[in-house]
Structure 1
Amino acid sequence: MDATTPPRSGTRSRNNPRGQGERLRADIIATATEMLDVLADDQALSMRAVAREIGIAATSVYLHFADRDALVLATLERCHSDIMRAMEAADASAADPAEALRARMLLLGTWAQEHTGLYKVLHESTLNQRVEMRFRRDFKESWVAAVERCVAAGLAPRRDPRETAQDLMAAVHGSVSMRINRCATPWPPFAEQLDRFLTGLVGLRPRG
């Protein structure tokens, strides 16, 4: 673990005084991220439990976050930033805009299946009903831009990219959510289903 990596839950840098600094804030977010991925419910998270997991006083957590909603929101914002960076990297390595769009969607599906708890908090939690997650608008706009690049390259029909992106988001999120919440159902491989979405909704040529 290098100097830029926040300590995992239950540990703390000796150079990080208790209750002080951005390093502790990052440690709190990292610990809350791990706990939410297990709990799969923002209401089940406790500020005291996070403090106990790190080994600090609960008051130290409140110095950085006013309440549980603020901590959960900061955690989800970090998840969003991580996903966006991964998607940008996928774009950079793709052969063309169509492959870039597919790589984005495949990355999201893979991340959701590996972090089902975080996905449920991000998209299905009660926090969504109480707090506007502004970063989700940025996420949606990135999908619209990805579809627009496919159209501009002549790889997809000239449809309304915003409507197309919305249809694709509904299909992908619906598929991911059903896989998580109805795990006993024999679903086809996500990559195969995604290719059908991209062909039917975006108008990309079938792969192969």
Structure 2
Amino acid sequence: MEDTETAAVRRRNARGQGDRLRDEIVDTAVRMLDELADDEKLSLRAVARAIPIAATSIYLHFPDRDALVLAAMARCHEELVRHGDEAAATQPDAAAGLRARILAQVDWAQRHPGLYKVLHESGVHRRLGMPFKEVMVARTVDGVQACMDAGLAPAGDARQAAIDLRTAVNGMLAQRINEPDLPWPPAREQLDRFLAKLVGISPR
């Protein structure tokens, strides 16, 4: 008969394998969504074939396709926040940090337009919402408030200014992704105008 210690080790290994498979499923969904640029075109069977595993194995980790899309978008959002944090941390002041954070978002969106569309325009977003995106909102509010506190922007309602700024930036990126052939000005120049008009930060 199997002793207690051996049984415990086997259970731990099984959980570890399950975690690895879950990560692989999410990784695969992220890659496919970047290519598809539409969560409605993603199927669990297609994800399973790409790994490859049995489609039933996905249901051990995700109850349906929406849950998988949501997990994939949460991972993308974490990456966006991390890139923004790293970019902001290298800057000499709050205004430069806010600008660098948003430019990191712009860079990510330009490298992953399909994922950016799903993150902001997907059916899952409309049906379930993506509450994890509040982290990015909070980072932007904190960035605007830091500019105000440092005298780099006029005092005011930091949250409202941050929401206006995010709306402008997200709109800019969505239009560039959806209408790439239009003669867009450099994104950095457009961002500087947003920062000046919506937050009151002098252009660099």
Question: Any idea what the Cα deviations from partners look like across 1:57-81, whole Å, max 9, x if unmatched?
Answer: 0011111111000000000000111
2:24 equivalent in structure 1: 27
2:111 equivalent in structure 1: 114
Which whole-Å CA distance do the structure 2 matches of 1:53 and 1:34 have between them? 10
Q: Is 1:173 the equivalent of 2:174?
A: no
Q: CA deviation at 1:20?
A: 4.2
1:77 equivalent in structure 2: 74
Q: 1:56 aligns with which of 53, 56, 59?
A: 53
Question: Any idea what the Cα deviations from partners look like across 1:61-105, whole Å, max 9, x if unmatched?
Answer: 111111000000000000111111111111211111101100011
Shift >4 Å, 4+ stretches: none
2:158 equivalent in structure 1: 161
2:149 equivalent in structure 1: 152
- Aligned with 1:177: secondary structure? helix
Structure 2 unaligned spans of 5+: 1-12
Structure 1 unaligned spans of 5+: 1-15
Q: Which has the larger radius of gyration?
A: 2
Which whole-Å CA distance do the structure 2 matches of 1:149 and 1:155 have between them? 8
Q: CA deviation at 1:199?
A: 1.1
1:99 equivalent in structure 2: 96
- Aligned with 1:112: secondary structure? helix
Which AA in structure 1 matches 2:201? L
Which AA in structure 1 matches 2:165? L
Which AA in structure 2 matches 1:58? A
RMSD, aligned α-carbons: 1.4
| Structure with more of its chain in helix, by fraction | 2
Q: TM-score of the superposition, structure 1-length normalised?
A: 0.89
Which AA in structure 2 matches 1:155? L
Counterparts of 1:177-196 in structure 2 under 5 Å?
Answer: 177-196=174-193
Which whole-Å CA distance do the structure 1 matches of 2:34 and 2:203 have between them? 35
Count of matched residue positions in the alignment of Structure 1 and Structure 2:
191
Identity %: 55
Q: TM-score of the superposition, structure 2-length normalised?
A: 0.90
Question: Any idea what the Cα deviations from partners look like across 1:99-131, whole Å, max 9, x if unmatched?
Answer: 110001111111111111101100011111110
Which whole-Å CA distance do the structure 1 matches of 2:78 and 2:181 have between them? 31
Q: 2:130 aligns with which of 126, 130, 133?
A: 133
